Amino acid sequence: MFHKVLVANRGAVAARVIRALKALNVQAVAVYSEADAAAPYLQEADEAHLIGPGPAKESYLDQDKLIAVMLAAKCDAVHPGYGFLSENSNFALRVEGEGATFIGPSPKFIEEMGHKARARDLMMRYGMPISPGSEILEDDEVAKREAERIGYPVLIKPAGGGGGIGMLPARDEAELVKGLESARSMASRSFGTAEVYIEKLLERPRHVELQILGDRHGGCRHVFERDCSLQRRNQKIIEESPAPGIGRDDIEKLAGTTAEAMARIGYDNIGTVEMLRGADGGFHFLEVNTRLQVEHGVTEEACSVDLVAAQVRVAAGEKVADVLPDEISVKGHAIECRVYAEDPKRFFPSPGKLEVFRIPSGEGVRVETGFAEGMQVTPFYDPMVAKVITRGKDRDEAIARMAGALEGFEISGIKNNIPFLLTALRDEAFVAGDVHTGLVPEIQARAKAREK
């Protein structure tokens, strides 16, 4: 096991990783920007090092500063959390080049899966179901021909990154040409490459992802699924497990195929294989996230596993068979809501001071946060202030506990999205499990109609 681990992140994930390291009797070294100097988890770490001012490029994205702290503190491993440098193969290579361990998949997998078009081709070769799509589009004429072959509507996607950035639908040729220009521009700014490709656009799909854990010995297992269909601007806001309304036989088959494909590839740490499920019930590969997910706590609560500890242990050389229980099953139901500092109707960020910030507790309620009362929610980072995870004997109980937990928050000084989350939890379609990636505007429309 490692002696000392640098936690190269901030907020809720830094707090979560530090907690896991302490449970493993591993020293945790935190880093923080000037904007995060009052973060409560810094007191939980064995060491805390200032790495620069608030802007991420001058702190959490500055590889030189992070490597310098790693060396000065004599860390033998780095946990990147999620976001920032967690899927940066160059950073992983630099960590390994200094003789430390990057707690994540090998750099080659980060590089290969980070290019979405190459990841599509790779997963297709290993038996994963793939929706019709194109190669990298060299020019607009090629794009027009490919769109005709695939059939409209199509979705334009950047090859160099994910998170919904630069994804644009096109329902005809004129929309395609216009969208290609915008997508290339956004892709270039966000990912450093203007490469784009297109896929068949699925209408009202479900977003279902499989949790994977591999090791350095050829082992790989799945830890079942999460449904992440409730999204705004292609960003998840509510996740749950098991996926409502999908037969367990279908999930077992998909999860088995996924774990087998990742094992054959040789994937060697934590990862998530994201899929879209069409109206016909068919699954289509979307992407692989080569890191710990924001919503990992849903799986931890549903399957009674500690994914963060497991990730650290396999990075230290243990076999996945020794890290995970022999038998894993989904027991009851777990659900997560992301609490954001944002306008609850338009979803625009709402930075400011957390004048009051008191979080709920109770049976079956878990809250992950990196904030404390009196701290500033700055415009430098993602505006998520907390993740709430509830579990229950069934979905109805998990939802009821979530509603109670959200109502138990006391927050002032910023706007937050709790009013919308409560509206979503009580929406008839969500309650019935009739979820899809376009549900949020439908929920908003129904709520607006009731206000009249």
Q: Which residues are known catalytic residues?
A: 291
| Helix axes 439-451 and 418-426, enclosed angle (nearest 10) | 90
Q: Residue 238's closest CA among 417, 90, 73?
A: 417
CA 370 vs CA 12, 18, 412: distances in Å: 4, 11, 17
CA 96 vs CA 75, 91, 93, 183: distances in Å: 12, 9, 5, 34
424: left (phi over 0), alpha (psi -120 to 50) or beta: alpha
Distance between CA 177 and CA 85 in Å, rounded? Answer: 33
Distance between CA 406 and CA 420 in Å, rounded? Answer: 11
Say if CB 91 and CB 133 are below 8 A apart.
no
By three-state DSSP, how is residue 51 classified? Answer: coil
For residue 427, the one-letter residue type is D
Question: DSSP states of 325-388 as a string?
Answer: -SS----SEEEEEEEESB-TTT--B--EE-SEEE----TTEEEE-S--TT-EE-TTS--EEEEE
By three-state DSSP, how is residue 301 classified? Answer: helix
Q: Which residue has the tokens 């980072």?
A: 381
CA 114 vs CA 78, 105, 159, 286: distances in Å: 20, 12, 8, 12
Would you mind telling me the total number of residues written for the chain in this entry? 452
By three-state DSSP, how is residue 157 classified? Answer: strand
The per-residue b/e assignment along 372-387, b for 16 or more CB within 10 angstroms, e otherwise, is ebebbbbebbbbbbbb
